[in-house]
Structure 1
Amino acid sequence: MSAQDPRDSRAVVVGGGLAGVTAALRLADAGLRVTLLEGRPRLGGLAFSFRRGDLSVDNGQHVYLRCCTAYRWFLDRIEGTHLAPLQDRLDVPVLDVGRKAGPRAGRLRRTGLPVPLHLAGGLAAYPHLSLAEKAGVARAALALGRLDPADPALDAIDFATWLHRHGQSRRTVEALWDLVGVATLNATAPNASMALAAKVFKTGLLSEPGAADIGWAAVPLGDLHDTLARKALESAGVRIHLRARVGSLTKSEDGRWSVATEDERFAADTVVLAVPQGETHRLLPEGALDDPGRLLELTDAPILNVHVVYDRTVLRRPFLAALGSPVQWVFDRTHASGLQGGGQYLALSQSAAQDEIDLPVAELRTRYLPELERLLPAARGAGIRDFFVTRERTATFAPAPGVGRLRPGTHTRAPGLHLAGAWTATGWPATMEGAVRSGSTAADAALQALGRPHEHPLQEAA
């Protein structure tokens, strides 16, 4: 069989995160014989679950939006859509506890009106901005809607600079732009590429009325990204090898790829490399990229997750966002975790956590428990059944200005070798959506090179 024989092609996907699982599914659906190699004992990459006593704990709270058509396709493909429902309409409770007059509750909502009127009523009723600030937000949103996120000039400036040029006050940035931006970009406005910020806000808020409706898993992430994903892969005929860390990637004498783990060697006509950028740099054959050193310039940004189990219910809504507090977003994970014996399990998602990621648990406990009592009066006097943290030091790539030039596309100079991962040039920040899109794009490129073009499923999901 020649290296490009389309009749009996073999593919190896290195990496079992969302990008790798997507690529493997797409290639198998197109009729290729696919092997998936993952160094961990599970699938799911950085969106996974683990056991802590009787609890099933997600390493961090992950959400998606209605505009995330690629991730929605993924959920549908693994038959998990019903386990990660979307809001009927965007509705975000926002509690400001930094006011001298006392805490004040508000909401960010949308209506069913056309864009941009769908947000007008919610903005008008939003109590955390003045009338002048709300008018300024409307003007900035209209200006943002005229931008092209793919414009390289936008990647050269930071989001805060653009907001300042468009009359946004410090309060407006805190109470609106960073409220959304930090959670989606994993960076505050001064540290975020304007191109990526424009992508997030233009797609999520200004593309269609329901684009920003929020969805999240009602079950542990492992039930989706590992259990259901593995079932879908096996049903598609994909051979899965866990605890199989790839040590080398070379071309054999017959022109095919040779992918070696400690225990086995796999031959392939096409390879999708769907691992983090540092691991990709280690495995890339010489000459595969013009400047592979740029991969090492793609630095990481951490996310800290604080987990608290109370002996009673202290939050009577699925989630909330906070202002005037170190707390960013709080989610109720009681049902999804399988908590027994009453009480409530809350998970705090703390993005852009460079200053806190290495703090001791005792210091984080001292910092966050009083803050939760400020936000949630019912927490005052409640017993703490458990307190722990999870730290993702490499949660995302840092979306700093200039990051666009560092992100490679899926193609390489090595025929038959393609790259995938949320850090590649998807146009999106490091999200589940970006990961799935990268895996699908890599599969498309591999199929095209093998002479087996296949209908792009994301066109159907859009």
Structure 2
Amino acid sequence: MNGEQVCVVGGGLAGIAAALRLVDAGARVTLLEARPELGGATYSFRRGDLVVDTGQHVFLRCYREYRQLLDQLGTSGGAHLQDVFAVPILRVGVPPHLLTRTRRLPAPAHLLPALINYRPLRVGQRIAAIRGAAALRGVDPDDPANDEISFGDWLTRHGQDAPTVRRLWELICVAALNAPPHRASLALAARVFRTGLLDRADAGDIGRPTVPLSELHGEPAGALLRERGGTVHTGVKVREIVPDQGQFQITADRVRLTADAVVLAVPHPQAARLVPAQAAPDRERWAGLGAAPIINVHVRYQRRVTDLEFAAALDNPVQWVFDRTPPGSTGQYLVTSISAAEPLLRTPAGRLGRAQLDALADLFPAARRTPVRDVFVTREPRATFRQGPGTRRDRPAAGTRLPGLALAGAWTDTGWPDTMEGAVRSGRQAADVVLAHLGSRSSTTEAPT
């Protein structure tokens, strides 16, 4: 590597991961981000004295490359990783049920006690769920044929009735894939359940940020890139990428540069507009990936209403709830997260807030007696792509038909769902494509005559 100039377009997790890999390999990296700060979908903003994350992101112990990125950024201490997978399950009128694995048994037996004792299901349904989990271990997430099948259809064929799907499989599927089982790809569901829960005993232990997302990702990434000699421009929107005799001309707001290679790490609608036609003639297919929304309702109570750090809810408008109370503050700040939220996307904020307040009061009786200081709604209309059957056909590889131009983003064909792990993997894959191109070009240039 002779210090070739590489432009990374997009400063989300994929762009950050790509830029760090490239700069560590000796490339001269310029990162261009349209937003005022790095982080992409994982960013924070201020509302009065509160720092608010756009979404309630969690990760699993099996998110190996994402956790490596946190180590690289020096921010692993800003997240808490469970010692043992454990999720409180809430239902109105009954004590919370703790869904947890055992430390004593290897995979997949580590989940047997959890399923055998899962109170939201009847005994027969629990036995059927155990059989379903055993069958799911045999589903290959990398087999394209499995991507053509609905997870919901597969569950029905394997003896899972509607209550079992709703109270067990959907609980995880909706949170992980932003889609209910009948609209989710079997291959992606198998990736979630096998990699996260079935293949290794500790893989599903849950990690949560304990600091704002901007402090966890964007701010330290910008500082680290600059420290290692990279150039970072925020608030700069790229308008055009033009191939030019083995290089690329990038035109952006206030910036124009020539690069030996480009990593295009933006959401698929923007990528389809920016990628040169000769690099991806089938880029129109990316539109088929679509988008799925997530809604968060933020509630600040004057006093604490629960001691739970987070929980999932069944048969209730609240899907997941997280305690995001800042250290040292009074009262309690809860955030509810609603995935697969298409039916609610156009619901007025006031109505959404009231519905979630009522639902929280049903789950936490103390909330009904506690004054509310503030309630507000954040919406992510394009939180993920639609991870339905047939998705893989529309997810492009990192490499394009133009040597030196690579694609990154959780929407590319990583084999993973649209998660922080998928984003980091995609950025590193794209960087490797670019480095291989630059290495082969250097070898050709320097070869003796």
TM score, norm. by length of structure 2? 0.96
1:168 is aligned, of 160, 169, 186, to 160
Corresponding residue for residue 352 of structure 1? 340
Structure 1 residue aligned with 2:445: none
1:255 Cα offset (Å): 2.5
Gap runs ≥5 in structure 2: 442-449
- 1:325-404 to structure 2, matched below 5 A, reads 325-335=316-326, 340=329, 342-404=330-392
Q: 2:284 aligns with which of 269, 293, 302?
A: 293
SS at match of 2:81: coil
Cα deviation per residue 1:103-125 (whole Å; 9 max; x = unaligned)? 34211101122001111112222
- Which amino acid letter does the alignment assign opposite residue 238 of structure 1? G
Give the drift of 1:452: 7.5
Matches for 1:15-34 after TM superposition, within 5 Å? 15-34=10-29
Letter in 2 for 1:346: L
In structure 2, what is the Cα distance between the partners aligned to 1:235 and 1:161?
51
For the Cα contact (< 8 Å) 1:144–1:202, is it kept in 2? yes
Query: What residue is the counterpart of 2:74 in the other structure?
Result: 79
- Look up the SS of the partner of 2:88 in the other structure: strand
The alignment partner of 1:89 has SS state of coil
Q: Is the 8 A contact 1:78 1:232 kept in 2?
A: yes
Contact 1:339/1:345 (CA < 8 Å) preserved in 2?
Answer: no
Residue 436 of structure 1 pairs with residue 424 of structure 2: yes
Q: Which residue of 2 aligns with 1:205?
A: 197
Percent pairwise identity: 51
Q: Which one of 248, 260, 282 corresponds to residue 257 of structure 1? A: 248
Shift of 1:151: 1.1
Q: Partner residue of 1:63?
A: 58
Q: Contact 2:116–2:127 at 8 Å: present in 1 too?
A: no
- CA-CA distance at 1:304 after TM superposition: 0.3
Deviation of the 1:429 alpha carbon: 1.1
In structure 1, the residue matched to 2:444 is none
- In the alignment, which residue of structure 2 is the partner of 1:3? none
Deviations 1:45-98 (CA, angstroms, capped at 9, x unpaired): 01111000000011110000000001101111100111112001001000122x
Superposition pairs of residues 148-187 of structure 1, within 5 angstroms: 148-187=140-179
Distance 1:452 1:372, change over 3 A: farther
Name segments (4+ residues, structure 1) moved above 3 Å.
none
1:397-416 counterparts in 2 under 5 A? 397-416=385-404
* Aligned partner (choices 257, 260, 284) of residue 269 of structure 1: 260
In the other structure, the counterpart of 1:14 is 9
Q: Is the contact made by 2:34 and 2:238 (CA closer than 8 Å) also made in structure 1?
A: yes
Task: Describe the superposition over 1:224-265 as per-residue Cα deviations: whole angstroms up to 9, x where unpaired.
Answer: 11211112212221100011100000122x421111112221
Choose 354-363 or 241-250, whichever is displaced more.
354-363
What's the CA shift string for 1:390-414, capped at 9, x where partnerless? 0000000011111110000101001
Which residue identity does 2:165 align to in structure 1?
V
Rounded to whole Å, the distance in 1 between the matches of 2:109 and 2:148 is 31
Asked if the contact 1:187/1:351 (under 8 Å) is kept, the reply is yes
From 196, 212, 223, the counterpart of 1:231: 223
**Residue 304 (structure 1) aligned with residue 295 (structure 2):** yes
Cα offset, 1:210, TM superposition: 0.6
Distance 1:287 1:450 in 2: 19
Contact between 1:18 and 1:45, CA under 8 Å: does it hold in 2? yes
Partner Cα distance (1:398, 1:428) in 2: 13
Instruction: Tell me the SS of whatever aligns to 1:450.
Output: helix
TM-superposed CA distance for 1:290, in Å, is 3.4
In the alignment, which residue of structure 2 is the partner of 1:141? Answer: 133
1:122, 1:158 → 2: CA distance? 26
Q: How many residues align?
A: 440
Alignment of 1:100-115 (within 5 A): 102-112=93-103, 113-115=105-107
Letter in 2 for 1:223: E
Does residue 1:124 correspond to 2:116, yes or no? yes
Q: Which amino acid aligns with 1:286?
A: A
Amino acid aligned to 1:11 = V
Deviation at 1:206, TM superposition (A): 1.3
SS in 1 for 2:343: coil
- Give 1:236's aligned amino acid: R
SS in 2 for 1:355: helix
**Secondary structure in 2 matching 1:411:** coil
Counterpart for residue 222 of structure 1? 214
Local SS of the residue matching 1:201: helix
Q: Which amino acid in 2 is paired with 1:447?
A: L
- For 1:136 and 1:36, locate their aligned partners in 2 and report how far apart those are by CA, in whole Å: 51
Moved more, 136-145 or 23-32: 136-145
The 1-side partners of 2:148 and 2:294 are apart by 24
Q: Distance in 1 between matches of 2:328 and 2:232?
A: 31
Paired residues of 2:353 and 2:377 also in contact (CA < 8 A): no
User: Is this contact kept in 2: 1:64–1:214, CA < 8 A?
Assistant: yes
| 1:54–1:339 Cα contact (<8 Å) kept | no
Larger displacement relative to structure 2 (59-68 or 112-121)? 112-121
1:250 counterpart SS class: strand
Q: Distance in 2 between matches of 1:452 and 1:442?
A: 16
What is the alpha-carbon distance in structure 2 between the residues aligned to residue 233 and residue 209 of structure 1? 36
Q: Is the 8 A contact 1:55 1:339 kept in 2?
A: no
With normalisation by structure 1, the TM-score equals 0.93
Query: Which of 383, 404, 407 in structure 2 is aligned with 1:419?
Result: 407
- Which runs of 5 or more structure 1 residues have no equivalent in the other structure? 1-5, 454-462
- Counterpart residue type for residue 272 of structure 1: V
Q: How many Å apart are 1:339 and its aligned residue?
A: 7.1
